[in-house]
Amino acid sequence: MNPHPHTGRLLFPLAALLVVAADQVSKALALAAWSGTSGPQARMGPFRALLVHNAGVAFGLGHGRPVLISMITLTGAVATLAAVCAGLRAHRRGLAFGMALIAGGSVGNGADRVARPPGPLRGAVVDWITVAGRGPVFNLADVALVSGTLLTAAVLLCSAARRPYVSPRPWAPHSAPSQAPNPIPASDPGPAPAPGCSPAPRSRPRTPSAAPAPLRRSPPGRPARW
C-alpha cells in the first residue's frame, strides 16, 4: 500500500528537527558537565565520554583551515536540503527518513561552526563520544550523518533491484519505409487549366447497364418471343 502523499513531507522536518535538537542538547550537557577536565569523564557501556573541540571534519579527523571546512559543511547542508526537497516527490518513507538524518546531522555540526568560539565560521565542533576510550571522537550529529547515508544508499539499491528488467529490442536491418501513392479524393478538381484555356469537361462515371433478358425458346412452329 502506498503511503499517504504528505507522509514524507511531514516525516522529513520532524526527524531533522529531532536530530538537531538532540545533538545540541547533548553538546550543551557535555560542556556543562565536563568542561575543564581531561581524559575520559564517564563510562556508558562500551562508550566513553571524552570532551573534544574539533576544528576539523567528522569523527575528530582533520585540523586547520576552519573557515574552509565551515564553508564546505554549510554548503553540504544546503545542498542536502535542496536534494531532499526535490526527492520527497517520490513520497517514500525510507528515503525521506534517511535524507532527514543527513540534513539534521549537517545542520547540527554547521551550527557549531557558526556559533561556537572562537568566532563565526571558525567555531569548533563539540565531540564527546568515543568507543572504549580509543579511536575517533564523535557526536550525535556524526551518528545521524553516517546512519542517514547508509539508509539512503540501502533504499536506492533496493529500488534499483526491484525495477523490472526490460530486454532490448532485437536488431533489425535498416530499411527505408515504403511510400504508397497518395489516393486522389473523389472531390479533387484536378489540375488547374492553363491561362486562356477553358477547362476540359469532366466525364461522369458510367453506371453499369442492366443485363439483357435471356431469350425464351418457343416450341417448334412458333416464333421466338423476346
Q: Which is higher by pLDDT, 157 or 179?
A: 157
pLDDT tens column, 101-120:
988 998 898 888 888 887 77
- CA gap 3, 90 in Å, rounded: 10
Q: How many CA atoms lie within 13 A of 132 on its CB side?
A: 2
- Total domains in the chain come to 1
> Residue 142 catalytic?
yes
Among the listed residues 23, 112, 142, 188, the single catalytic one is: 142
- Calculate helix-pair angle for 140-162, 93-115, nearest 10 degrees: 150
- Report the distance separating Cα 126 and Cα 60, nearest Å: 9
pLDDT above 90 for 211: no
Residue 106 lies in a domain: yes
Residue 194 pLDDT level (bands cut at 50, 70, 90): low
The four Cα atoms 108, 143, 54, 79 give a dihedral, to 10 degrees, of -50
The answer to whether residue 61 is domain-embedded is yes
**Residue 18 included in any domain:** yes
Mean pLDDT of the chain: 73
Across the range 58-68, mean pLDDT stands at 57
pLDDT tens for 153-176 read 998 888 777 766 565 665 555 555
**Structural domain for 144, as ranges:** 7-161
In a domain, 21, yes or no: yes
Question: Does a structural domain hold residue 64?
Answer: yes
On whether residue 28 sits in a domain, the answer given is yes
Asked whether residue 59 is domain-assigned, the answer is yes
Determine contact, residues 20/107, Cβ cutoff 8 Å: yes
Residue 151 lies in a domain: yes
Give 68-93 pLDDT, tens digit per residue.
666 776 777 777 666 666 666 555 67
Report pTM: 0.61
